[in-house]
Amino acid sequence: MEVIAMTSEAESRETRTDRSLEATVWTLTDALETLRRRTDRLTDRVDELETENDTLEDENARLRSRVRELESETDGLESRTTRLADQTADLEFRADRLEERTTDLDDRTTTLESKTDRLETHTDQLETETDRLENRTTAAINRSGANKERIEELQARELEKGAHLREENVDRHDLELDGGRLEKIRKDDDRRYYRLPDADDPLQRGDTVSLAHADLLPIQQLARMDEDMLRSTTNALPSRLAAKLWKARTDPTAGDDPWRSGCKNVREYVKASDLKHWIRRQEPGTSDAYAKKLVSRTIDALLDLSKNRLAIRRKRERKNGLEYTERRVLLTAEAEIPGETGSTDANRRTDPTTTDVTGER
């Protein structure tokens, strides 16, 4: 019985032990399930935190980049601020100088305005005085004009009587003379005088009339030479021809003279065609073609040796029903030739005759 009792008790203890173990197992299972769920939650939270950490790291990197950008911008702004401060200081300095300059200009303007007022007052006074002087000047001019006319009339009468008047005292263009001719001469006192052509001083006052060799034009100097001296002085045929042509104009004993009397403002002239024939007469054997060349060269020599006191004009001519243009060498009335008159002697010449020229060169 005891054995059975012990067996039953043992079975009872085993039953309780099994139940206890089963309960423990269930408890452990619940705990494990709880731990598992908690672990899952923790894992999920870790994943979330890792995600958040990555996001925060990206944001942190962005913020660091932005900080660097802001630092760079800050440096730029500080540099710009420094420049602006320097510019502001410079502008303030310039503004101060401009203010000082403006003040100075205002003072000067005030001074100038004061001077202007004084000058305007003085100008009004001067204008009044000028009007008075102009009136007096006009009256004086009127009197002087009348006196000048009287003096010119007296000078004209004295010149017509043969007087020699000093150049500086004579206004040759306003004198009314019979024939309108005046000759400028130099006397031994080295002064210049006006007289009627070849008129001797009836009172025989002053020195004798002289015309120095240096006072003559080169063409006049050459024209005074004989043939041998002329050849020794210049080898150029056009220059010798120019000298002979000038001599033919001034020396009645020279013979062959192609010059013609002019009219109005022309004292004398020579036509290129007449000059060509004259050259062939002066240089026998000269061909017509070569004579044409010598005409141009002789005209150039005339202009050069007369220091351009002569003029060249072209004029239309008509011959045998044909019209052509021909050059003329003119000695105008205004041309100043030492020792010669300044006006036209219209009837001194007749048309030159031309003779036949033979021979060729």
Summarize pLDDT for 277-321 with one digit per residue, the tens: 999 999 999 999 999 999 999 999 999 999 999 999 998 888 887
Question: How many Å apart are CA 251 and CA 269, to the nearest integer?
Answer: 16
Question: What are the structure tokens assigned to 109, written together?
Answer: 């303007």
Q: What is the DSSP letter of 293?
A: H
DSSP 166-235: EGGG--GGG---TT---EEEEETTS-EEEESTTPPPTT--SPPEE--GGGS-HHHHHHTS-HHHHHHH--
Contact 334, 343 (CB under 8 A): no
Residues 256-264 have a mean pLDDT of: 89
- Greatest pairwise CA separation for the chain in angstroms: 216
Work out the average pLDDT over 348-357: 44
**pLDDT of 203:** 57
The 10s digit of each residue's pLDDT in 89-139 is: 999 999 999 999 999 999 999 999 999 999 999 999 999 999 999 888 888
Which residue in 272, 271, 259, 276 sits closest to 344, CA to CA?
A: 259
The pLDDT value recorded for residue 199 is 62
Kindly state the DSSP code that residue 316 receives in the 8-state scheme: E
What's the pLDDT at 143? 82
Average pLDDT over residues 183-201: 70
Rounded to an integer, the average pLDDT of 69-73 is: 90
Q: What is the rounded CA–CA span in Å between residue 256 and residue 259? A: 9
Torsion-angle region of residue 204: left (phi > 0), alpha (psi -120 to 50) or beta? left
Closest CA to 331 of 314, 304, 306, 350: 306
**Encoded tokens for 80:** 């710009």
How far is residue 216 CA from its own chain's centroid?
A: 40
Please give the angle made by the CA atoms of 100, 101 and 105, to the nearest 5 degrees: 120
Whether 330 and 310 have beta carbons less than 8 Å apart is answered as yes
Q: What are phi and psi of 245, to 5 degrees?
A: -65, -40
Q: Give the count of beta carbons closer than 10 Å to the beta carbon of residue 31.
A: 10
pLDDT tens column, 157-168:
877 777 888 888
Question: pTM of the full predicted structure?
Answer: 0.43
Q: What is the pLDDT of residue 210?
A: 53
Look at residue 180 in the predicted model and tell me its pLDDT: 62
**Which run of H or of E encompasses 269?**
strand 266-271
Exposed, middle or buried: residue 276 (CB in 10 Å: 0-12, 13-18, 19+)?
buried
pLDDT band at 200 (very low <50, low <70, confident <90, very high): low
pLDDT-derived band of residue 226, with 50, 70 and 90 as boundaries?
confident
Q: How far is CA 100 from CA 84, 93, 112, in A?
A: 24, 11, 18
Q: What is the mean pLDDT of the chain?
A: 82
Query: Whole-angstrom Cα distance, residue 225 to residue 247?
Result: 10
Q: Please say if the pLDDT value at position 261 is more than 50.
A: yes
Which amino acid is located at 190 in the chain?
A: D
> What is the arithmetic mean of pLDDT over 159-179?
77
Which pLDDT score is estimated for 258?
A: 94
Which residues make beta-bridge pairs with 324? Answer: 317
pLDDT at 352: 44
353: confidence class by pLDDT, cuts 50, 70, 90: very low
pLDDT at residue number 3: 62
- Token duo for residue 344: 């036209």
Residues in the chain: 361
Q: Say yes or no to pLDDT of 329 above 60.
A: yes
Separation in Å, CA 125 to CA 26, 112, 121: 138, 19, 6
Number of Cβ within a 10 Å radius of residue 310: 22
